[in-house]
Chain A
Amino acid sequence: MKKSTALLVSVLLVLSVAVWASGQQDNSSSGKTVVIKVKNFGSDKDAEAYHAAYLKYQEAHPNVQITDTFVPIGTWREYTAKTLAEAAAGQAPDILALASESIRQIHSVDLLASLDDYIKNDKDASAMLDDISPTLRNGFVLGGKVWAIPSFWNGIYAYYNTDLWKQAGLATPTKDFTWDDLRAAAKKITKRDSSGNTTVWGFAPDMWLNGLSSWVYSNGSDLLTNDMTKSNLKDPKVAEAFQFIADLINVDKTMPRPDADANANGQSWTNLFANGKLGIIYGGHQYTQVFMANNFSNYDVIRIATNGSHTSSYGCAAFSITKSSKNKQVAWDIIKALVSVPVQTLQSSQGTSIPSRRSVCAGAAFLKWPKNAGLFYGLLDEPDGFKPVTAPVNYTEFEAIMYRYVNQVFAGSMSASEAMVKADAEIVQALARSKGN
């Protein structure tokens, strides 16, 4: 019996070690130490910059311990779902990074603490807030209260290949670059080889919801009403915007056909552009990093093409404090550190997203390239320059529904007007359900 018991015991031991090792979580220490949990997202370089900020803060305040959960963004779906799950489990962090896409969803489940009091009682606050464009700040004001401080953002711009432009004999695009101009330019730039394969493409959009929103905005319309509570999909201008893109794919054949994954599309299209095989691409500031990595600099940035409106779409990340946090004042201090000038300057030099502070974006590090880099932040201050991405209370569901229909429109299997009618029906239902909760 001894041998078998020993065997059993050792098996159980192995099991328990495995289970213990897996259960290693950060335990909050007791006593005077204040533990602040942060849930954040971004790119590698953002993580580095924030980490440096945490270390600096902890040095200055030795009784504070910051634990950071940094999540790579796959889709908003996952990030928001996990955040809500953690909140439901009573494990909400103190500082929560969220974005324009999720602010209404997270706010609606009463997860956040309003920041107005902290702003009022902080003498440094107004200097910080003045340095952030009101366009960005207002995206996080709901019901007259401030719920988050913008940290970094991305808008939809148009990058065009200066060489291909010249070769096609096109004039440098002005700020009144229209849809028709885009269509004509794409046609001129697209080249096919002898067997009919396209060697150079004309145009590629941004396939994130941000990018799709921008098309609709530039047509003077929106996917939802301005307060983002009712569907606007029946507006023929919405269908017109999507049909335009669909025609570029299927009629003009100047745009590559998108696959289901917005991520993968972005990857392959930026790669095309960085290899001089694409005339014009819509996207955010993060593309400049890709171009830099590929040693590609024959491009410049302009506003997206207009069809009556000049408004483009942006998505902004921001820091908020959860209602359940027991150390809101400390959390506020840390947030200030995270959006401070040194941290944002570090972020700006890596070229991913655009820092929220105007002063940082006026710096040489940010304006390094491309030629028109002043446009990135400058557009925020123009009237009708930017509008936040369409993001209702049930954003994840909304996004999923939009993609299902837009993908079919782009595939040419459904007309945009038919798709929008169907999408409208579903979204009306979905919105009604979310209100009922």
Chain B
Amino acid sequence: MANLLRRRAPSSEARSRVRAKLSSSRGREAAAGFLFIAPAYILYFLFMLLPILIATYLSLNTYDLMHPMRFAGIQNYREVFADPRVWISYANTFVFTFSVVIGITVFGLIVAMLVNREFSRITNYVFRLAFFLPFIIPYAFIAIVWSQFFNTDAGIINYYLSQVGLHGIGWLSDPHYALLSVILMDIWKNIGFTMVVILAGLQSVPKEFREAATVDGASYFQVFFRIILPMISPVIFFCFVFITIGAMKVFDAIWILTKGGPGDSSRSIVVFIYDTAFTSYRYGYGSAVAITLLIVIMILTLLQFRVANKWVYRA
């Protein structure tokens, strides 16, 4: 009080005292902050950032684990761009990702819309179980079972096709169908995920919105496209991003079902990397391809976020 009356600047000791108090609590908080992120960040650095640096270094070399490394400069990258199998693998991966993102989201949306009713608890339970179960079962087991369904001459799908007079399809033996088979299986496996997430989004759309619109005479489709869809767009966007990143990295499904074949018709870029590194023992070249995949995924994700800024409705 006396200070204020005196209207004098605080003494230097007072200033340093205040500063000391502030800095110590701030300092403590900052120290705590670093301590808290330390375990995560150390692991992140050791097992994600560092390996990327090493992979980049590897990609400039030729290495097969058994013989000493030989420097190769950008030779590997030149080969990546010139290798038709890389382009085919990327093409397959893009086709797969695009089909699967659309398929899983659309089907999930349809099922979510259908299930979004006042069914009895038991019915709800059974429905959710049926659709969600494939999602939590490891892909390895699903692929084993599906390979029997897809078998060309003794398989189950073809059996039923022949019963109705259609010709059996070479699901896994025909290069034109191999990728399609993997896509179908992947959609089946993941519908549950989008269904559940979109269902939650649908249920968070306030009923008043829908009812107000119908009172105004809007048709069901108008209500859907103008009101519901925009309101669940964040959820749909989330599905898109999530599924895209996963689909670009697809391995299990393809490896167990077709091993990338016949030929290269169902080979994804990750299967190609695996083959190159672990079958041909070309760890340098494999790393180069992997680095390109990293860049591609980054670009894709950034693009998606750009698009989201325009299309996704933020409440």
Same complex for A and B? Answer yes
Measured CB to CB, the residues of A under 8 A from B are 77, 81, 84-85, 87-88, 109, 195-198, 201, 256-261, 264, 268, 272, 394, 396-397, 400, 403-405, 407-408, 410-411, 413-414, 430, 433, 437
User: A426: nearest residue on chain B (CB-CB)?
Assistant: B85
Which residues of B have CB within 8 Å of A404? 260-264
Nearest Cβ on chain A to B35's Cβ, whole angstroms: 13
Chain A residues contacting B263 (CB-CB under 8 Å) are 404-405, 407-408, 411, 413-414
Q: Which residues of chain B (248-268) have a CB below 8 Å from chain A?
A: 257-264
Query: A260 vs B174: C-alpha distance in the bound complex, in angstroms?
Result: 10
User: How many angstroms between the C-alpha atoms of A197 and B151 in the bound complex?
Assistant: 14
Q: Counting CB contacts under 8 A, is B211 at the interface?
A: no
Main secondary structure of the interface of A (DSSP, over half): helix
Q: Is the CB of A407 within 8 A of B262?
A: yes
CB distance from A274 to the nearest CB of B (A): 13
* Chain B residue contacts of A261, Cβ below 8 A: 147, 259
Contacts of B260 in A (CB 8 A): 260, 404
Query: B280 an interface residue at 8 Å Cβ cutoff?
Result: yes
CA distance A195 to B153 in the complex (A): 14
CB distance from B72 to the nearest CB of A (A): 11
Cα distance A257–B162 in the bound complex, in angstroms:
16
Contacts of A88 in B (CB 8 A): 65-66
Q: When the two chains form the complex, which single residue of A81, A258, A260, A411 contacts B279, counting CB atoms closer than 8 Å?
A: A81
Nearest chain-A residue to B262 (Cβ)? A407
For B30, what are the chain A residues with a Cβ–Cβ distance below 8 Å? Answer: none
Decide: B66 and A260 in contact? CB cutoff 8 A.
no
Give complex CA distance A268, B260 in Å: 21
State the majority secondary structure of interface residues on B.
Answer: loop
Is B163 in contact with A407, judged by CB distance below 8 angstroms?
no
Q: Kindly state the interface size class of chain B when it binds its partner.
A: 20 to 34
CB of A408 within 8 A of CB of B175, answer yes
| A411/B280 in contact, CB under 8 A | no
Known contacts A259-B151, A268-B154; is A411 also within 8 Å of B174 by CB? yes
B166-219 contacts to A, CB under 8 A, are 170, 172-176, 178
A88, closest chain B residue (CB): B65
Are the C-beta atoms of A264 and B147 separated by less than 8 Å?
A: yes
Asked whether A411 and B147 contact (CB < 8 A) given A258-B173, A400-B280, the answer is no
* B173: nearest chain-A partner, CB-CB: A257
CB atoms of A413 and B262 under 8 A apart: yes
Bound complex: CA of A396 vs CA of B150, how far in Å? 27
19 contacts between A and B (CB under 8 A): A77-B278, A81-B279, A84-B281, A201-B153, A258-B173, A259-B147, A259-B150, A259-B172, A260-B172, A260-B173, A260-B260, A260-B261, A407-B263, A408-B175, A408-B263, A410-B173, A411-B170, A437-B66, A437-B67
* With A88-B65, A109-B66: A397-B262 Cβ-Cβ less than 8 Å: no
Contact with A along B55-70 (1 / 0, CB 8 A): 0000000001111000
The A-contacting residues of B in range 45-89, CB under 8 angstroms, are: 64-67
Cross-chain contact B162 with A197 (CB below 8 angstroms): yes
Smallest CB separation, B81 vs chain A (Å): 17
